[in-house]
A and B are shown apart, each in its own frame.
Chain A
Amino acid sequence: MKRPHGLAAVISILLVVVFGSNPSQAAPTPRPASVPVGSITVSAAASLTDVLPVIADAFVKKYPGTSVKFNFAGSSALVQQIIAGAPVDVLATASEPTMRTAVTAGSVGAPLLFARNSMAIATPPGNPAKIAGPWSLSRDGVLVAQCVIAVPCGTAARDLLAKNGVTVRPVTLELDVRAVLAKVMAGEVDAGIVYVTDVRAVGSKVVSVAIPSERNVMTSYPVAAVRDSANPIAAQAFVNYLRYTPSAQGILRAYGFAKPW
Protein backbone atom coordinates (compact mmCIF):
# COMPACT_ATOMS: atom_id res chain seq x y z
CA MET A 1 0.00 0.00 0.00
CA LYS A 2 1.21 3.49 -0.81
CA ARG A 3 1.62 6.17 1.75
CA PRO A 4 -1.85 7.51 2.51
CA HIS A 5 -0.76 11.06 2.00
CA GLY A 6 -2.77 14.22 1.39
CA LEU A 7 -6.16 13.50 -0.02
CA ALA A 8 -6.09 9.84 0.87
CA ALA A 9 -5.35 10.68 4.49
CA VAL A 10 -8.12 13.25 4.61
CA ILE A 11 -10.59 10.81 3.12
CA SER A 12 -9.65 8.08 5.56
CA ILE A 13 -10.11 10.47 8.48
CA LEU A 14 -13.46 11.53 7.10
CA LEU A 15 -14.49 7.93 6.72
CA VAL A 16 -13.61 7.28 10.34
CA VAL A 17 -15.49 10.33 11.47
CA VAL A 18 -18.55 9.56 9.39
CA PHE A 19 -18.82 5.81 9.71
CA GLY A 20 -16.63 5.01 12.67
CA SER A 21 -14.09 2.33 12.10
CA ASN A 22 -15.02 -1.20 11.44
CA PRO A 23 -12.09 -3.38 12.36
CA SER A 24 -14.04 -6.60 11.97
CA GLN A 25 -14.14 -5.88 8.26
CA ALA A 26 -10.56 -7.05 7.96
CA ALA A 27 -10.63 -9.59 10.76
CA PRO A 28 -7.32 -11.44 10.90
CA THR A 29 -7.34 -14.78 9.19
CA PRO A 30 -5.81 -17.54 11.33
CA ARG A 31 -2.02 -17.06 11.20
CA PRO A 32 0.86 -17.28 13.59
CA ALA A 33 -0.26 -15.23 16.59
CA SER A 34 2.59 -12.78 16.47
CA VAL A 35 2.10 -11.44 12.92
CA PRO A 36 -0.08 -8.33 12.84
CA VAL A 37 -2.43 -8.02 9.90
CA GLY A 38 -5.64 -6.14 9.05
CA SER A 39 -6.86 -2.72 9.85
CA ILE A 40 -6.66 -0.74 13.10
CA THR A 41 -8.05 2.60 14.14
CA VAL A 42 -5.95 4.90 16.28
CA SER A 43 -7.54 7.63 18.37
CA ALA A 44 -4.86 10.20 18.95
CA ALA A 45 -4.45 13.61 20.53
CA ALA A 46 -4.73 16.58 18.18
CA SER A 47 -1.06 17.42 18.68
CA LEU A 48 -0.13 14.13 17.01
CA THR A 49 -2.04 15.01 13.83
CA ASP A 50 1.06 15.45 11.68
CA VAL A 51 3.48 12.92 13.07
CA LEU A 52 1.39 9.77 13.53
CA PRO A 53 0.40 9.23 9.88
CA VAL A 54 4.08 9.24 8.96
CA ILE A 55 4.84 6.65 11.61
CA ALA A 56 1.85 4.63 10.48
CA ASP A 57 3.25 4.53 6.96
CA ALA A 58 6.47 3.05 8.31
CA PHE A 59 4.45 0.58 10.36
CA VAL A 60 2.46 -0.55 7.35
CA LYS A 61 5.66 -0.97 5.32
CA LYS A 62 7.04 -3.16 8.01
CA TYR A 63 3.87 -5.21 8.34
CA PRO A 64 2.34 -5.58 4.88
CA GLY A 65 -1.31 -6.42 5.11
CA THR A 66 -2.00 -3.93 7.84
CA SER A 67 -3.60 -0.54 7.52
CA VAL A 68 -4.06 2.30 9.99
CA LYS A 69 -6.86 4.83 10.27
CA PHE A 70 -6.88 7.84 12.56
CA ASN A 71 -9.28 9.78 14.67
CA PHE A 72 -7.71 13.01 15.96
CA ALA A 73 -9.35 15.16 18.63
CA GLY A 74 -8.80 16.56 22.09
CA SER A 75 -7.52 13.80 24.41
CA SER A 76 -10.48 14.02 26.79
CA ALA A 77 -13.01 13.70 24.02
CA LEU A 78 -11.18 10.62 22.71
CA VAL A 79 -11.17 9.03 26.15
CA GLN A 80 -14.88 9.66 26.56
CA GLN A 81 -15.58 8.17 23.13
CA ILE A 82 -13.65 4.99 24.00
CA ILE A 83 -15.33 4.65 27.39
CA ALA A 84 -18.65 4.99 25.56
CA GLY A 85 -17.64 2.07 23.34
CA ALA A 86 -16.24 3.66 20.20
CA PRO A 87 -14.77 0.93 17.95
CA VAL A 88 -11.12 1.96 18.34
CA ASP A 89 -7.99 -0.19 18.67
CA VAL A 90 -5.31 2.16 19.99
CA LEU A 91 -5.46 5.28 22.17
CA ALA A 92 -2.67 7.85 22.28
CA THR A 93 -3.24 10.84 24.52
CA ALA A 94 -1.28 13.99 25.24
CA SER A 95 -1.24 13.57 29.01
CA GLU A 96 -1.05 10.89 31.68
CA PRO A 97 -4.17 12.01 33.58
CA THR A 98 -6.40 11.61 30.53
CA MET A 99 -4.92 8.14 29.90
CA ARG A 100 -5.43 7.30 33.57
CA THR A 101 -9.15 7.98 33.14
CA ALA A 102 -9.30 5.37 30.40
CA VAL A 103 -7.22 2.88 32.43
CA THR A 104 -9.40 3.37 35.50
CA ALA A 105 -12.50 2.78 33.39
CA GLY A 106 -10.99 -0.52 32.27
CA SER A 107 -11.12 0.51 28.63
CA VAL A 108 -7.45 0.17 27.77
CA GLY A 109 -4.52 -2.05 28.64
CA ALA A 110 -1.23 -0.99 30.23
CA PRO A 111 -0.01 2.29 28.73
CA LEU A 112 3.52 3.00 27.55
CA LEU A 113 5.01 6.51 27.41
CA PHE A 114 6.29 7.04 23.87
CA ALA A 115 7.12 10.75 23.66
CA ARG A 116 7.28 14.02 25.54
CA ASN A 117 6.46 17.50 24.52
CA SER A 118 7.04 20.97 25.92
CA MET A 119 5.28 24.27 25.50
CA ALA A 120 5.91 27.26 23.28
CA ILE A 121 4.19 30.56 22.66
CA ALA A 122 2.93 30.98 19.11
CA THR A 123 2.31 34.48 17.73
CA PRO A 124 1.08 35.67 14.35
CA PRO A 125 3.81 36.41 11.79
CA GLY A 126 5.82 39.44 12.82
CA ASN A 127 4.83 39.02 16.46
CA PRO A 128 2.83 42.27 16.44
CA ALA A 129 2.29 42.31 20.21
CA LYS A 130 6.02 41.86 20.82
CA ILE A 131 5.67 38.78 23.00
CA ALA A 132 9.02 37.90 24.54
CA GLY A 133 8.10 35.19 27.00
CA PRO A 134 5.40 34.02 29.40
CA TRP A 135 5.56 37.31 31.33
CA SER A 136 4.43 39.23 28.23
CA LEU A 137 1.14 37.41 28.24
CA SER A 138 -0.20 39.24 31.27
CA ARG A 139 0.22 42.67 29.67
CA ASP A 140 -2.94 44.70 29.18
CA GLY A 141 -4.50 44.38 25.75
CA VAL A 142 -2.68 41.21 24.84
CA LEU A 143 -5.17 38.65 23.55
CA VAL A 144 -4.21 35.14 24.58
CA ALA A 145 -5.73 31.85 23.47
CA GLN A 146 -5.11 28.61 25.29
CA CYS A 147 -6.71 25.23 25.68
CA VAL A 148 -9.52 24.56 28.09
CA ILE A 149 -8.23 23.00 31.34
CA ALA A 150 -9.99 19.72 30.60
CA VAL A 151 -7.54 18.87 27.82
CA PRO A 152 -3.80 18.23 28.30
CA CYS A 153 -2.60 21.36 26.51
CA GLY A 154 -4.81 23.39 28.85
CA THR A 155 -3.38 21.74 31.94
CA ALA A 156 0.10 22.25 30.57
CA ALA A 157 -0.61 25.92 29.84
CA ARG A 158 -1.92 26.40 33.37
CA ASP A 159 1.18 24.71 34.82
CA LEU A 160 3.45 26.78 32.60
CA LEU A 161 1.91 30.06 33.73
CA ALA A 162 2.00 28.96 37.36
CA LYS A 163 5.64 27.96 37.10
CA ASN A 164 6.46 31.42 35.74
CA GLY A 165 4.32 33.20 38.30
CA VAL A 166 2.19 34.89 35.64
CA THR A 167 -1.57 35.49 35.82
CA VAL A 168 -3.21 35.58 32.41
CA ARG A 169 -6.81 36.04 31.48
CA PRO A 170 -7.16 34.38 28.10
CA VAL A 171 -9.89 35.56 25.74
CA THR A 172 -10.77 32.05 24.71
CA LEU A 173 -10.37 28.51 25.99
CA GLU A 174 -10.20 26.32 22.91
CA LEU A 175 -11.15 22.68 22.97
CA ASP A 176 -7.92 21.40 21.42
CA VAL A 177 -4.47 22.70 20.66
CA ARG A 178 -5.03 22.95 16.91
CA ALA A 179 -7.93 25.32 17.51
CA VAL A 180 -5.58 27.55 19.54
CA LEU A 181 -3.11 27.47 16.71
CA ALA A 182 -5.87 28.31 14.21
CA LYS A 183 -6.79 31.43 16.17
CA VAL A 184 -3.12 32.48 16.16
CA MET A 185 -2.73 31.86 12.43
CA ALA A 186 -5.87 33.87 11.75
CA GLY A 187 -4.30 36.75 13.66
CA GLU A 188 -7.27 37.02 15.97
CA VAL A 189 -5.15 36.60 19.08
CA ASP A 190 -1.72 37.95 19.87
CA ALA A 191 -0.43 34.75 21.38
CA GLY A 192 -1.40 31.14 21.91
CA ILE A 193 0.06 28.64 24.34
CA VAL A 194 0.74 25.49 22.32
CA TYR A 195 3.17 22.60 22.07
CA VAL A 196 6.55 23.18 20.48
CA THR A 197 5.69 20.47 17.98
CA ASP A 198 2.65 22.40 16.78
CA VAL A 199 4.70 25.48 16.05
CA ARG A 200 7.15 23.39 14.10
CA ALA A 201 4.37 21.70 12.17
CA VAL A 202 2.88 24.90 10.72
CA GLY A 203 6.22 26.44 9.81
CA SER A 204 6.30 30.14 8.97
CA LYS A 205 2.59 30.76 9.48
CA VAL A 206 3.34 31.54 13.10
CA VAL A 207 6.32 32.83 15.04
CA SER A 208 7.51 30.70 17.91
CA VAL A 209 8.62 32.32 21.13
CA ALA A 210 10.80 29.69 22.75
CA ILE A 211 10.61 29.08 26.49
CA PRO A 212 13.86 27.99 28.17
CA SER A 213 13.62 24.47 29.53
CA GLU A 214 14.07 25.52 33.17
CA ARG A 215 10.96 27.70 32.81
CA ASN A 216 9.05 25.20 30.68
CA VAL A 217 6.84 22.23 31.51
CA MET A 218 6.97 18.78 29.93
CA THR A 219 4.02 16.59 29.07
CA SER A 220 4.19 12.89 28.42
CA TYR A 221 2.35 10.99 25.68
CA PRO A 222 1.07 7.58 26.70
CA VAL A 223 -0.24 5.00 24.25
CA ALA A 224 -2.26 1.86 25.00
CA ALA A 225 -4.20 -0.86 23.22
CA VAL A 226 -7.94 -0.71 23.68
CA ARG A 227 -9.35 -3.71 25.55
CA ASP A 228 -12.28 -4.30 23.23
CA SER A 229 -10.19 -4.06 20.10
CA ALA A 230 -11.29 -6.40 17.35
CA ASN A 231 -7.67 -6.66 16.26
CA PRO A 232 -5.66 -6.87 19.48
CA ILE A 233 -2.54 -8.23 17.82
CA ALA A 234 -2.14 -5.40 15.39
CA ALA A 235 -3.15 -2.93 18.09
CA GLN A 236 -0.43 -4.11 20.47
CA ALA A 237 2.04 -4.28 17.62
CA PHE A 238 1.38 -0.61 16.85
CA VAL A 239 1.78 0.35 20.52
CA ASN A 240 5.10 -1.47 20.72
CA TYR A 241 6.27 -0.11 17.39
CA LEU A 242 5.58 3.40 18.51
CA ARG A 243 7.45 3.04 21.79
CA TYR A 244 10.37 0.81 20.92
CA THR A 245 11.42 1.06 17.28
CA PRO A 246 14.18 3.47 16.31
CA SER A 247 12.28 4.38 13.17
CA ALA A 248 9.18 5.54 15.07
CA GLN A 249 11.28 7.36 17.63
CA GLY A 250 13.33 8.93 14.86
CA ILE A 251 10.22 10.32 13.20
CA LEU A 252 9.01 11.69 16.54
CA ARG A 253 12.34 13.48 17.01
CA ALA A 254 12.12 14.88 13.53
CA TYR A 255 8.78 16.41 14.44
CA GLY A 256 10.12 17.96 17.62
CA PHE A 257 8.97 15.50 20.23
CA ALA A 258 11.38 14.71 23.04
CA LYS A 259 12.46 11.26 24.15
CA PRO A 260 10.02 9.60 26.52
CA TRP A 261 12.71 8.69 29.05
Chain B
Amino acid sequence: MSSSARPRAPWFLVVLALLALALLIAPLVALLTRAPWGSFAEILTSPVARDALRLSVITATAATALATVLGVPLAWLIARSGLPGTGVARSLVLVPLLIPPVVSGVALLAAFGRRGALGQFLYDHFGFQLPFTTAGVVLAEAFVAMPFLVIAVEGGFRSLNSQFEEAAATLGASSWTTFRRVTLPLVAPALGAGMVLCWARALGEFGATITFAGNFPGVTQTMPLAVYQALESDPSVAIALSLMLIAICVVVLIALRGRIIRPLATA
Protein backbone atom coordinates (compact mmCIF):
# COMPACT_ATOMS: atom_id res chain seq x y z
CA MET B 1 0.00 0.00 0.00
CA SER B 2 1.38 3.41 -0.88
CA SER B 3 1.65 5.94 1.89
CA SER B 4 -0.31 8.51 -0.08
CA ALA B 5 -3.37 6.27 0.19
CA ARG B 6 -3.51 6.81 3.94
CA PRO B 7 -5.86 9.50 5.18
CA ARG B 8 -4.05 12.40 6.81
CA ALA B 9 -4.31 12.40 10.56
CA PRO B 10 -6.31 15.31 11.99
CA TRP B 11 -3.87 17.75 13.62
CA PHE B 12 -5.49 17.64 17.03
CA LEU B 13 -5.08 13.87 17.16
CA VAL B 14 -1.40 14.31 16.40
CA VAL B 15 -1.09 16.93 19.13
CA LEU B 16 -2.83 14.75 21.70
CA ALA B 17 -0.76 11.76 20.68
CA LEU B 18 2.47 13.70 21.08
CA LEU B 19 1.24 14.94 24.43
CA ALA B 20 0.58 11.38 25.53
CA LEU B 21 4.04 10.35 24.42
CA ALA B 22 5.58 13.28 26.29
CA LEU B 23 3.65 12.32 29.41
CA LEU B 24 5.10 8.83 29.23
CA ILE B 25 8.63 9.78 28.31
CA ALA B 26 9.28 13.07 30.12
CA PRO B 27 9.50 11.66 33.66
CA LEU B 28 11.97 9.02 32.52
CA VAL B 29 14.12 11.60 30.76
CA ALA B 30 13.96 13.83 33.84
CA LEU B 31 15.20 10.91 35.88
CA LEU B 32 18.18 10.62 33.56
CA THR B 33 19.08 14.27 34.11
CA ARG B 34 19.07 13.73 37.86
CA ALA B 35 21.11 10.55 37.75
CA PRO B 36 24.27 10.55 39.86
CA TRP B 37 26.47 9.42 36.98
CA GLY B 38 29.67 9.92 38.95
CA SER B 39 28.79 7.44 41.65
CA PHE B 40 26.57 5.20 39.56
CA ALA B 41 28.81 2.14 39.56
CA GLU B 42 29.49 2.51 43.25
CA ILE B 43 25.78 2.67 44.08
CA LEU B 44 24.85 -0.30 41.93
CA THR B 45 27.58 -2.47 43.39
CA SER B 46 26.73 -1.56 46.97
CA PRO B 47 25.53 -4.52 49.06
CA VAL B 48 22.02 -3.07 49.39
CA ALA B 49 21.63 -2.66 45.63
CA ARG B 50 23.19 -6.03 44.83
CA ASP B 51 21.01 -7.81 47.36
CA ALA B 52 17.90 -6.06 46.13
CA LEU B 53 18.65 -6.73 42.48
CA ARG B 54 19.49 -10.38 43.08
CA LEU B 55 16.39 -10.85 45.20
CA SER B 56 14.21 -9.08 42.63
CA VAL B 57 15.40 -11.23 39.75
CA ILE B 58 15.07 -14.45 41.76
CA THR B 59 11.62 -13.68 43.12
CA ALA B 60 10.25 -12.33 39.83
CA THR B 61 11.48 -15.46 38.07
CA ALA B 62 10.06 -17.76 40.74
CA ALA B 63 6.77 -15.85 40.71
CA THR B 64 6.60 -16.20 36.92
CA ALA B 65 7.28 -19.93 37.20
CA LEU B 66 4.55 -20.29 39.82
CA ALA B 67 2.16 -18.18 37.74
CA THR B 68 2.92 -20.31 34.68
CA VAL B 69 2.42 -23.66 36.39
CA LEU B 70 -0.90 -22.53 37.89
CA GLY B 71 -1.97 -19.89 35.38
CA VAL B 72 -1.73 -21.92 32.18
CA PRO B 73 -4.17 -24.59 33.41
CA LEU B 74 -6.46 -21.84 34.68
CA ALA B 75 -6.35 -20.06 31.33
CA TRP B 76 -7.10 -23.34 29.60
CA LEU B 77 -10.03 -24.00 31.91
CA ILE B 78 -11.49 -20.57 31.30
CA ALA B 79 -10.97 -20.64 27.55
CA ARG B 80 -11.70 -24.23 26.71
CA SER B 81 -13.45 -26.30 29.32
CA GLY B 82 -16.92 -24.89 28.76
CA LEU B 83 -17.61 -25.59 32.43
CA PRO B 84 -20.24 -23.44 34.12
CA GLY B 85 -18.86 -20.44 35.98
CA THR B 86 -15.90 -19.84 33.72
CA GLY B 87 -17.22 -16.40 32.85
CA VAL B 88 -17.21 -15.50 36.53
CA ALA B 89 -13.75 -17.00 36.88
CA ARG B 90 -12.47 -14.85 34.03
CA SER B 91 -13.74 -11.72 35.79
CA LEU B 92 -12.27 -12.79 39.12
CA VAL B 93 -8.87 -13.29 37.54
CA LEU B 94 -8.86 -9.59 36.69
CA VAL B 95 -9.47 -8.46 40.27
CA PRO B 96 -5.81 -8.40 41.38
CA LEU B 97 -5.12 -6.31 38.30
CA LEU B 98 -7.58 -3.64 39.34
CA ILE B 99 -7.34 -3.40 43.11
CA PRO B 100 -4.53 -1.35 44.66
CA PRO B 101 -1.54 -3.59 45.40
CA VAL B 102 -1.67 -2.56 49.05
CA VAL B 103 -5.14 -4.04 49.20
CA SER B 104 -3.73 -7.19 47.63
CA GLY B 105 -1.20 -7.25 50.45
CA VAL B 106 -3.89 -6.90 53.07
CA ALA B 107 -5.91 -9.65 51.39
CA LEU B 108 -2.88 -11.91 51.30
CA LEU B 109 -2.33 -11.29 55.01
CA ALA B 110 -5.94 -12.21 55.64
CA ALA B 111 -5.43 -15.48 53.79
CA PHE B 112 -1.81 -16.47 54.34
CA GLY B 113 -0.78 -14.36 57.31
CA ARG B 114 0.00 -16.03 60.64
CA ARG B 115 -3.56 -15.23 61.72
CA GLY B 116 -4.94 -15.77 58.23
CA ALA B 117 -7.46 -18.39 57.19
CA LEU B 118 -4.87 -20.66 55.55
CA GLY B 119 -1.77 -19.17 57.12
CA GLN B 120 -2.88 -20.14 60.59
CA PHE B 121 -3.22 -23.75 59.51
CA LEU B 122 0.27 -23.70 57.99
CA TYR B 123 1.70 -22.06 61.08
CA ASP B 124 -0.01 -24.33 63.60
CA HIS B 125 0.84 -27.57 61.79
CA PHE B 126 4.18 -26.88 60.18
CA GLY B 127 5.47 -23.81 62.04
CA PHE B 128 5.68 -22.24 58.63
CA GLN B 129 5.04 -18.57 58.07
CA LEU B 130 4.92 -16.80 54.72
CA PRO B 131 5.13 -13.12 55.71
CA PHE B 132 8.68 -11.80 56.04
CA THR B 133 10.06 -14.66 53.94
CA THR B 134 11.33 -14.69 50.38
CA ALA B 135 8.58 -17.22 49.63
CA GLY B 136 6.12 -14.58 50.81
CA VAL B 137 7.57 -12.12 48.29
CA VAL B 138 7.14 -14.71 45.54
CA LEU B 139 3.54 -15.31 46.57
CA ALA B 140 2.76 -11.58 46.63
CA GLU B 141 4.34 -11.05 43.23
CA ALA B 142 2.58 -14.08 41.75
CA PHE B 143 -0.74 -12.84 43.12
CA VAL B 144 -0.37 -9.47 41.49
CA ALA B 145 1.31 -10.58 38.25
CA MET B 146 -0.48 -13.84 37.40
CA PRO B 147 -3.50 -12.09 35.82
CA PHE B 148 -1.24 -10.76 33.06
CA LEU B 149 -0.17 -14.28 32.21
CA VAL B 150 -3.65 -15.75 32.47
CA ILE B 151 -5.17 -13.09 30.23
CA ALA B 152 -2.48 -13.48 27.58
CA VAL B 153 -2.58 -17.28 27.56
CA GLU B 154 -6.36 -17.39 27.72
CA GLY B 155 -6.46 -15.26 24.60
CA GLY B 156 -4.07 -17.70 22.97
CA PHE B 157 -6.21 -20.70 23.85
CA ARG B 158 -9.37 -18.93 22.78
CA SER B 159 -8.08 -18.06 19.34
CA LEU B 160 -6.66 -21.53 18.80
CA ASN B 161 -8.50 -23.56 16.19
CA SER B 162 -10.00 -26.52 18.06
CA GLN B 163 -9.48 -28.68 14.97
CA PHE B 164 -5.84 -29.07 15.92
CA GLU B 165 -6.95 -30.82 19.08
CA GLU B 166 -9.47 -32.90 17.16
CA ALA B 167 -6.78 -33.90 14.69
CA ALA B 168 -4.54 -35.01 17.55
CA ALA B 169 -7.39 -37.05 19.03
CA THR B 170 -8.05 -38.84 15.74
CA LEU B 171 -4.36 -39.66 15.66
CA GLY B 172 -4.70 -41.50 18.95
CA ALA B 173 -3.35 -38.84 21.28
CA SER B 174 -4.68 -38.76 24.83
CA SER B 175 -5.96 -35.42 26.07
CA TRP B 176 -2.74 -34.91 28.04
CA THR B 177 -0.56 -35.74 25.03
CA THR B 178 -2.68 -33.40 22.93
CA PHE B 179 -2.26 -30.60 25.45
CA ARG B 180 1.47 -31.15 25.77
CA ARG B 181 2.40 -31.75 22.13
CA VAL B 182 -0.18 -29.67 20.28
CA THR B 183 -2.10 -27.13 22.33
CA LEU B 184 0.77 -25.79 24.39
CA PRO B 185 3.26 -25.38 21.51
CA LEU B 186 0.59 -23.58 19.52
CA VAL B 187 -0.03 -21.04 22.27
CA ALA B 188 3.71 -20.60 22.86
CA PRO B 189 3.73 -17.03 21.47
CA ALA B 190 0.93 -15.98 23.78
CA LEU B 191 2.53 -17.84 26.67
CA GLY B 192 5.85 -16.11 26.02
CA ALA B 193 4.19 -12.71 25.97
CA GLY B 194 2.28 -13.54 29.14
CA MET B 195 5.42 -14.66 30.91
CA VAL B 196 7.31 -11.51 29.95
CA LEU B 197 4.48 -9.26 31.14
CA CYS B 198 4.15 -11.32 34.29
CA TRP B 199 7.88 -11.13 34.99
CA ALA B 200 8.03 -7.39 34.40
CA ARG B 201 5.04 -6.80 36.66
CA ALA B 202 6.53 -9.01 39.37
CA LEU B 203 9.83 -7.17 39.12
CA GLY B 204 8.10 -3.85 39.73
CA GLU B 205 5.80 -5.07 42.51
CA PHE B 206 5.83 -2.82 45.57
CA GLY B 207 2.59 -2.43 47.50
CA ALA B 208 1.58 -6.04 48.01
CA THR B 209 5.15 -7.05 48.76
CA ILE B 210 5.80 -4.48 51.49
CA THR B 211 2.38 -5.04 53.00
CA PHE B 212 2.50 -8.82 53.01
CA ALA B 213 6.18 -9.69 53.12
CA GLY B 214 7.66 -6.66 54.84
CA ASN B 215 10.98 -5.05 54.09
CA PHE B 216 14.29 -6.60 55.04
CA PRO B 217 17.48 -6.40 52.98
CA GLY B 218 18.44 -9.69 51.37
CA VAL B 219 15.22 -11.44 52.40
CA THR B 220 12.23 -9.40 51.31
CA GLN B 221 13.65 -6.09 50.15
CA THR B 222 13.25 -6.11 46.38
CA MET B 223 14.38 -3.31 44.08
CA PRO B 224 11.20 -1.21 44.34
CA LEU B 225 11.33 -1.41 48.14
CA ALA B 226 14.98 -0.44 48.10
CA VAL B 227 14.13 2.48 45.83
CA TYR B 228 11.41 3.68 48.16
CA GLN B 229 13.60 3.32 51.21
CA ALA B 230 16.53 5.06 49.54
CA LEU B 231 14.22 7.94 48.66
CA GLU B 232 13.94 8.70 52.38
CA SER B 233 17.65 8.97 52.96
CA ASP B 234 19.46 9.49 49.68
CA PRO B 235 17.42 10.29 46.57
CA SER B 236 20.42 9.88 44.27
CA VAL B 237 20.63 6.21 45.25
CA ALA B 238 16.92 5.90 44.58
CA ILE B 239 17.36 7.40 41.14
CA ALA B 240 20.26 5.11 40.31
CA LEU B 241 18.27 2.04 41.35
CA SER B 242 15.24 3.27 39.44
CA LEU B 243 17.27 3.69 36.28
CA MET B 244 18.55 0.18 36.78
CA LEU B 245 14.97 -1.15 36.92
CA ILE B 246 13.96 0.86 33.88
CA ALA B 247 16.99 -0.39 31.98
CA ILE B 248 16.10 -4.01 32.74
CA CYS B 249 12.53 -3.50 31.51
CA VAL B 250 13.64 -1.73 28.36
CA VAL B 251 16.22 -4.39 27.56
CA VAL B 252 13.66 -7.17 28.04
CA LEU B 253 11.07 -5.42 25.90
CA ILE B 254 13.51 -4.66 23.09
CA ALA B 255 14.91 -8.18 23.14
CA LEU B 256 11.43 -9.62 22.78
CA ARG B 257 9.89 -6.99 20.57
CA GLY B 258 8.21 -8.49 17.56
CA ARG B 259 9.03 -12.01 18.58
CA ILE B 260 6.64 -12.31 21.44
CA ILE B 261 4.59 -9.20 21.93
CA ARG B 262 3.48 -8.90 18.33
CA PRO B 263 2.13 -12.42 17.94
CA LEU B 264 0.04 -11.65 20.99
CA ALA B 265 -1.66 -8.86 19.14
CA THR B 266 -2.39 -11.00 16.11
CA ALA B 267 -3.03 -14.30 17.87
| Cβ–Cβ < 8 Å partners of A173 in chain B | 214-217, 221, 229
B-contact bits for A165-194, CB 8 A (1 contact / 0 none): 000001111110001000100111100000
Given contacts A143-B132, A172-B132, contact A150 B233 (CB under 8 A): yes
Q: Which A residues are CB-close (under 8 A) to B228? A: 175
Beyond A173-B221, A183-B214, A188-B132, 17 additional pairs, beta carbon < 8 A: A74-B232, A76-B232, A77-B232, A80-B232, A80-B235, A150-B229, A150-B233, A171-B132, A171-B219, A172-B213, A172-B220, A175-B215, A186-B113, A187-B114, A188-B114, A188-B115, A188-B131
Interface residue? B203 (CB, 8 A):
no
A174 to B220 alpha-carbon distance, docked (Å): 11
Which of B113, B131, B132, B232 is most buried by chain A, counting CB atoms within 10 A of its CB?
B232
- Supposing A172-B132, A186-B113, A188-B114 touch, asked if A150 and B232 sit within 8 A by C-beta, the answer is yes
Does A151 sit within 8 A of B, measured CB to CB?
yes
Judge whether B210 is part of the interface by a CB distance below 8 angstroms.
Answer: yes
Is A209 interfacial (CB 8 A cutoff)?
no
CB of A175 within 8 A of CB of B113, answer no
Q: Which residues of B contact A74 (CB under 8 A)?
A: 232
Say if the beta carbon of B109 comes within 8 Å of chain A.
yes
With a CB–CB cut-off of 8 A, which chain A residues contact B232? Answer: 74, 76-77, 80, 148, 150-151, 175
B214 (CB) vs chain A CBs: closest residue: A172
Q: Which residue of B lies closest to A187 (CB)?
A: B115
Docked-complex contact B233 and A174, CB < 8 angstroms: no
A145 CA to B213 CA, complexed, in Å: 12
Report Cα–Cα, A186/B132, bound state, in Å.
13
| Size class of the A contact interface (CB-based, 8 Å) | 20 to 34
A156 nearest CB across to chain B (Å): 15
* Contact between chains at B109 and A172 (CB < 8 Å): no
Residues of A within 8 A of B215 (CB): 148, 172-175
Q: How far is the CB of B261 from chain A (nearest CB, A)?
A: 32
B216 A188 Cβ-Cβ under 8 A: no
B231 within 8 A of A: yes
Nearest-neighbor residue (CB-CB) of A101 within chain B: B233
What is the chain B residue whose CB lies nearest that of A145? B214
B219 surroundings in chain A (CB, below 8 A):
171
List the B side residues contacting A145 at CB < 8 Å.
214
Contact pattern, A 71-107, Cβ under 8 Å of B = 1, otherwise 0: 0001011001000100000000000000000000000
The complex places the Cα of A175 from the Cα of B209 at a distance, in Å, of 13
Instruction: Please report the C-alpha to C-alpha distance between residue A77 and residue B231 in the assembled complex, in whole angstroms.
Output: 7
Q: Who on chain A is nearest to B238 by CB?
A: A80
Whether B113 lies near A172 (C-beta < 8 A) is no
Q: CB-CB contacts of B178-214 with A at 8 A, as 1s and 0s?
A: 0000000000000000000000000000000010011
Alpha-carbon distance A188/B115, docked complex (angstroms): 7
> Across the two chains, which residue of chain A brings its CB closest to B219?
A171
- Asked whether B115 lies within 8 Å of A186 as measured between CB atoms, the reply is yes
Judge whether A188 and B109 touch: CB under 8 Å. yes
Query: Across the interface, do A175 and B229 meet the contact criterion of CB distance under 8 Å?
Result: yes
| A181 → chain B closest CB, angstroms | 13
Are A170 and B235 closer than 8 Å at their CB atoms?
no
Chain B residues near A80: list those with CB within 8 A: 231-232, 235
Interface residues as binary, B93-132 with A (CB distance below 8 Å gives 1, 0 otherwise): 0000000000000000100011100000000000001011
With both chains docked as a complex, state the minimum distance between the C-beta of B131 and any C-beta of chain A, in angstroms.
Answer: 5
Q: Which residues of A contact B233 (CB under 8 A)?
A: 76, 150
B213's nearest neighbour on chain A, judged by CB, is: A172
What is the CA–CA distance of A187 and B115 in the complex, to the nearest angstrom?
6
CA distance A84 to B132 in the complex (A): 32
Q: Which of B216, B231, B235 contacts A172 (CB 8 A)?
A: B216
Nearest A residue (CB) for B110 = A186
B264 to chain A, nearest CB (A): 34
Q: Report A144 CB to chain B, min CB distance, Å.
A: 10
- Complex alpha-carbon distance, A183 and B113, angstroms: 10
**What are the 7 A-B residue pairs with the smallest beta carbon separation, nearest first?**
A172-B214, A76-B232, A171-B132, A150-B233, A187-B115, A150-B232, A188-B131
